[in-house]
Amino acid sequence: MPCKCLIIEDELPAQEVLQHYIDRLPALELVGCYSSAVEAIAELHRQPIDLLFTDIQMPELSGLQLVRSLARPPKIIFTTAFSEHAVEAFDLGVVDYLCKPFSFDRFLLAVNRALVSLGTLPPPPPPADQELISWREGFLFLKVNKRQVKVSFSDILYAEAFGNYVKVHTQSQRMLLITETFAGFTSLLPEAFFVRVHKSYIVALPVIQQLDGGRIFVNGLQIPVGVTYRRALENRLLSFGKMAP
């Protein structure tokens, strides 16, 4: 059965883009398109809606206010030209946050997340048991001030290039400045659980809290995402899902 979805968007060109994208996906059934949140409320109460695409800044009632007002909101994907509401939006448990203009492949990534969440699309398989063991129990020795320091893979939050050194930030709140090239350090990490997000940053996938435009949030910190790394990061996040520990 197709996923019933609804559009709330006050700009006609943006409505048309969403309608066109939805028409390309047999898994979605568009049941309504509205120019304001107030107009859409009756439809949301009239029949079950699985997935709602809604703008944020709209007259009378914003997308954020609408979602807060719903006792049982559907899965939500915000579509907006403004990135500053992302943290507030994700606090509401939304599936995704699309910044206009967005491509079809970025739209598809958001929809797939929603379908996985709804149980319509099966989740990707979890990492192999051996990979989980490698991440949980594996470790490496890092050269710090002429000393070799043992660091568990699961303790590493992220690392950043720092000239001829690498700064390794850990769960235990230590920052280790190691004598190693960035390329050399990244080659030591298990690929299943670490992802390059910038020419100067590599991050542990399990600790990424959210992706917002050109940045990710890790342990309350913001880390930049390079343009050339974003698509690969989105794909890694989708495939990683919620399967890792």
Q: Which of 146, 223, 212 is nearest to 178 (CA)?
A: 146
Q: Are 234 and 208 in contact (CB under 8 A)?
A: no
Domains of the chain: 3-118 (3.40.50.2300), 129-240 (2.40.50.1020)
Say which range, 125-134, 156-165, 196-205, has the weakest mean pLDDT.
125-134
Contact (Cβ atoms closer than 8 angstroms) between residue 30 and residue 40: no
Whether the bond between 245 and the residue before it is cis, its omega within 30 degrees of 0, is no
Q: Is 50 helix (H, G, I), strand (E, B) or coil?
A: coil
Q: What is the pLDDT of residues 174-211, one digit of tens each?
A: 789 998 888 888 888 888 889 999 999 999 988 888 88
The helix/strand/coil state of 69 is: helix
pLDDT at 242: 42
Range with the lowest mean pLDDT among 8-12, 120-124, 142-146?
Answer: 120-124
Give the residue-averaged pLDDT of 102-124: 78
Q: Residue range 93-117: average pLDDT? A: 84
Q: Which pLDDT does position 89 carry in this prediction? A: 78
| Lowest-confidence segment of 15-29, 128-142, 194-208 by average pLDDT | 128-142
**Cα–Cα distance between 28 and 12 in angstroms, integer?**
20
pLDDT of res. 127: 53
Q: What is the pLDDT of residue 32?
A: 93
Q: Which residue has the higher pLDDT, 109 or 35?
A: 35
Average pLDDT over residues 114-133: 64
